[in-house]
Amino acid sequence: MAKTITFTVQPGGSLNGQARVPGDKSISHRSIMLGSLADGVTHVKGFLEAEDALATLQAFKDMGVVIEGPKNGELTIHGVGKHGLKAPQKPLYLGNSGTSMRLLSGLLAGQAFDSILTGDKSLSGRPMKRVTDPLAQMGAVIETTEKGTAPLHIKGQDGKLKGIDYQMPMASAQVKSCLLLAGMYAEGATRVTEPAPTRDHTERMLSGFSYPVEKEGAKVTITAEGRLTAADIDVPSDISSAAFFLVGASIAPGSDIVLNHVGINPTRTGVIDILRLMGANIEILNERIVGGEPVADLHVKSAPLKGIDIPEELVPLAIDEFPVLFVAAACAEGQTRLTGAEELRVKESDRIQVMADGLQILGVDAQSTPDGMIIQGGKIGSGSVESHGDHRIAMAFSIAGLRADGKIVINDCENVNTSFPEFIEIAPALGLKLQSEQG
């Protein structure tokens, strides 16, 4: 039997002190992928030692890449070059990680070998046609289930992919990155245009590895004419993990925290913009560039929040932060309305429905809509809520405890280990009255 983890949060308290949350998940995945395909040895610092990033790491080990570590967030990747991966002897198991599966599908489509990508129950239910359709246009041969889900059976099309000009129907960094990685093996140019800006870590890291990639407005272009040269990577702290404490310190009276070394890439800072529009007191200190990514220390003090209509252009820039932003909205004065966020329904869980259900159990007036949520701020009660195995839901409801009027129990929290295993230590150290129990 798989172990289950239950979180219990006693009400009240405030957050105080300093913390450095673990490394950025998106950048950690990409460091393994590009480091493995590079010529030479790549050293990575600040790597996220959590299940999702470790699934990517294991997949590349399964394709013959020698990777030392991780030890204290440090890795040494002995790159095998763009054409140096070996056929895996078994299906590549990617656990809960959408990023691993979608990026790998592009990377593996043009290899000289076949591969199979599998995942857990949640990942096996997530839509993959968004990558397999455009990849098929490039000449990729990938079989999915009838529903367009994993397992993905990829027949490597060595030398046979062709570049396409693709207008993405949704704002997705995973789709964009998948096609750019496939484009490294395609004849002619691969051009991807996004409907709204999404995280650009792939583009930045390709440039950091001296691989030519051109950006012109919303369009990114890549060709097979290039090679990756090993480069050292310093992974900043994950703003998506920091977000729990940005909200926690904002809503809990008497809070005053500093979060160190947080990645503030402008394609990721929607959570800061949204919280500031709600009245949060967040200062960005010591801005600097680390390994091609902007980094800063974030100083947050509690402040009264007010409800807002969340500007739709901020949605892709805060896409993983909505579970905890809904908690901020529940503590704000007045109504908060989110629209244009239907992508939340196809994450590790249906994050609109699951948050609406849980907030209602806690006595909050939260109404789901097809593409968002309407929340009337007020009191948070107590009760037992389900995280549906979704790490961000589990951590968001934990933060709600800071303003609840009774105990909150959160079931099914083991997947916090996919992105932020240290949450159960860092959150109590800052002042959250959280206990984790294994059953």
Ligand X SMILES: O=C(O)C1=C[C@@H](OP(=O)(O)O)[C@@H](O)[C@H](O)C1
Annotated catalytic residues are 320
What is the nearest approach in angstroms of ligand PEP to the Cβ of residue 200?
16
What is the nearest approach in angstroms of ligand X to the Cβ of residue 98?
6
What is the nearest approach in angstroms of ligand PEP to the Cβ of residue 99?
3
Q: Which one of 191, 199, 261, 268 is in contact with ligand X (CB under 6 A)?
A: 199
Q: Which residues contact 6 (CB under 8 A, 6 or more apart)?
A: 409, 410, 411, 412, 413, 436, 437, 439
What is the nearest approach in angstroms of ligand X to the Cβ of residue 266?
15
Can you list the positions of beta strands (E) in 80-195? 92-93, 115-118, 141-143, 152-155, 165-167, 190-193
Binding mask 304-333 for ligand X (x = CB under 6 A): ---------------xx-------------
DSSP β-ladder status, 190-193 and 165-167: parallel
What is the nearest approach in angstroms of ligand PEP to the Cβ of residue 27?
12
Binding mask 29-68 for ligand PEP (x = CB under 6 A): -----------------------x----------------
Alpha-helical runs (H) found in 278-371? 322-331, 351-361
Binding mask 348-367 for ligand PEP (x = CB under 6 A): x-------------------
Residue 49 CA to its chain's centroid (Å): 14
**Under the phi-then-psi rule, with left for phi > 0, alpha for psi from -120 to 50, and beta for the rest, what region is 397?**
alpha
- Peptide bond before 134: cis, by omega within 30 degrees of 0? no
Region of 54-62, 73-81, 171-179, 266-274 interacting with ligand X (CB under 6 A): 171-179
Within 96-155, which residues bind ligand PEP (CB under 6 A)? 97-99
Question: Is the distance from CB of 411 to CB of 385 less than 8 angstroms?
Answer: yes
Annotated binding-site residue? 353: no
Within 329-368, which residues bind ligand X (CB under 6 A)? 343
Collapsed DSSP state (helix, strand, coil) of residue 113: coil
Distance CA 196, CA 312 (A): 10
Identity of the residue, 194 or 320, whose beta carbon is nearer to ligand PEP in the bound complex: 320
Q: Of these partners, ligand X, ligand PEP, none, which one is at the site of residue 177 (CB under 5 to 8 Å by kind)?
A: ligand X
Distance CA 247, CA 164 (A): 41
Annotated binding-site residue? 232: no
Region of 83-91, 106-114, 166-174, 356-364 interacting with ligand X (CB under 6 A): 166-174
Alpha-helical runs (H) found in 128-196? 129-137, 173-183
The binding site for phosphoenolpyruvate consists of 25, 98, 126, 174, 351, 392
The binding site consists of 25-26, 30, 98, 126, 172, 174, 320, 347, 351, 392
